[in-house]
Chain A
């Protein structure tokens, strides 16, 4: 896999089917349903004061939900480029318009937080960047968190250069 910047877009090229599939799973992974703790991690209580938390839930949380959903939809639309013949083993390319960079950072972050919450990774595990994805669903989850983090790092670096 290669990542590069060309004009106003980032290109993720030479994507093998495995990594392409991990990318396609980003929108699905942002969904906190059925993951205990994930909803609470995405929509954090802002204070110890109940009155503030109640107001927050009514007025701020719906806005945050819209923001996160909008980011995920943008990413899902970009990822449509990877759709096609499911059985094809050809490597693919993905173009991420630079104006979608914020949406990608948000969706990748949502996905990483939900996966980390799902498997309750420890700090040590999250710092283990060499673990093979082959083994268990948990190992694959850790690989996903690190892979999405790698992509975030690249987007951030390019945003800074931009």
Chain B
């Protein structure tokens, strides 16, 4: 449905124009791209220093932040390293698997 807007010119006359129609977007779940999170799980074999180095390298995190995540993995069993679009999350998980870390991607609920 279109709307009509009255427009007054500087000479005092009035005319009408049709307001642009704003279409309602209907997008599927895939298009909406629900955020995904990259999760790293605890692994007793990988060294703590190695895990920290991998987080710094893959995500570009400063050492303190990388260590915080490493300790969270160590103490709580898992840590969410990143959250965002699926394609990027898959890229990060692939990088982490390339370094042999136990990583998965999960939909944010």
Contact = CB atoms under 8 A, between A and B. Distances in A.
Mostly helix, strand, loop or mixed at chain B's interface? mixed
Interface residues of B, number: 19
B105 to A, nearest CB: 5
Interface in A14-50: 42-48
Contacts of B66: none
Interface in B31-47: 44-47
Tell me if A's interface is mostly helix, strand, loop or mixed.
Answer: helix
Nearest to A61: B97
A64 B102 contact: no
Interface in A67-86: 67
Interface string A122-162: 01001000000000000000000100010011001101100
Interface of A: 42-48, 52, 60, 63-64, 67, 105-106, 109-110, 112-113, 116, 121, 123, 126, 145, 149, 152-153, 156-157, 159-160
Interface of B: 44-47, 49-50, 53, 90, 93-94, 97-100, 102-106
